[in-house]
Amino acid sequence: SPQVGGGPRASGGTLTATSAARPLVVLEHVDKHFGDLHVLKDVDLTIHAGEVVVLLGPSGAGKSTLCHTVNGLTPIDSGSITIDGRPLPTTDRGLADLRADLGMVFQSFNLFADMTVLENVMYGPVKVRRRPRAEAEEQARHRLARVGMLDHADAMPAQLSGGQQQRVAIARALAMDPKIMLFDEPTSALDPEMISEVLDAMTDLAESGMTMLVVTHEMGFARRAADRIVFMVDGAIVEDTDPETFFTNPRSERAKEFLGKIL
């Protein structure tokens, strides 16, 4: 079985079958309050390289807050977070570097409205990674093709449907070659007929081996794409298990209740 923590490391740090389970995101005893509200309660969570973790839970459980702590948008009160073995940076520069390594796709469409689709996807590689424009453009076209949006490279975001905008947002995040992709309810604001095109793009990404943390209410996707389901209620992780177990035989009453409402 994979050696995770404590086990002897492969000699010289070379990648071996065992290091497939390399921990990329590690939260230990993370606590967060907003005023009197205890939003994250002693959260322990490890996401390994290549793993797809789907975070489920009722509204207000703290799912978005958890995502925002991972990319440094929300500072924690206590506990620790490490990304690829390094503590979360504290300087502005360090945080900017961290965010460049974490692709984030939110519920609301967050494309630059005054740039074409292609320019949106090229922006990070050119401005942050300092890649030559020609190289960035070629790469951007590949990313757009991957999410089925190459035909719209010259469109402005406002000309696109919500589903198309989210697919461009995914391409834009991928253009930075992120170590991890975070998705916070990426289909919640979409009309029903557009949800599947975005979930399909996310499923492709999951199958490509991308490390992903996904907050969603799409149970079909969760069951199909997740390696693990993490279920949160009131700021605490209540279950952390494989999808089959979670959906067919959840341990906690809270999970049974949640599934009863949502399925």
What residue ranges bind ligand ADP (CB under 6 A)? 34, 37, 39, 57, 59-65
Considering only residues 57 through 96, tell me which ones interact with Mg ion, judged by CB under 5 A: 63-64
Smallest separation, CB 59 to ligand ADP (Å): 4
The backbone torsions φ and ψ at residue 229, rounded to the nearest 5 degrees and listed phi first, read -110, 125
Q: Please, are residues 149 and 180 in contact by the beta-carbon 8 Å criterion? A: no
Q: Please, are residues 182 and 176 in contact by the beta-carbon 8 Å criterion? A: no
Q: Residue 30 CA to chain centroid, in angstroms? A: 18
Q: Which does 60 bind (CB under 5 to 8 A by kind): ligand ADP, Mg ion, none?
A: ligand ADP
**Which are the contacts of 151, defined by CB distance < 8 A and separation ≥ 6?**
none
Closer Cβ to ligand ADP, 27 or 117, answer by number:
27
Smallest separation, CB 66 to ligand ADP (Å): 7
Closer Cβ to Mg ion, 188 or 241, answer by number:
188
Closer Cβ to ligand ADP, 59 or 91, answer by number:
59
Q: Which does 59 bind (CB under 5 to 8 A by kind): ligand ADP, Mg ion, none?
A: ligand ADP
Smallest separation, CB 138 to ligand ADP (Å): 37
Q: Tokens 């035909």 belong to which residue? A: 151
Radius of gyration (Cα) for the chain, nearest Å? 19
Closer Cβ to ligand ADP, 67 or 88, answer by number:
67
Q: Tokens 């067919």 belong to which residue? A: 248
Both ends of the chain: CA-CA distance in Å?
34
Chain residues in the site for Mg ion (CB under 5 A): 63-64
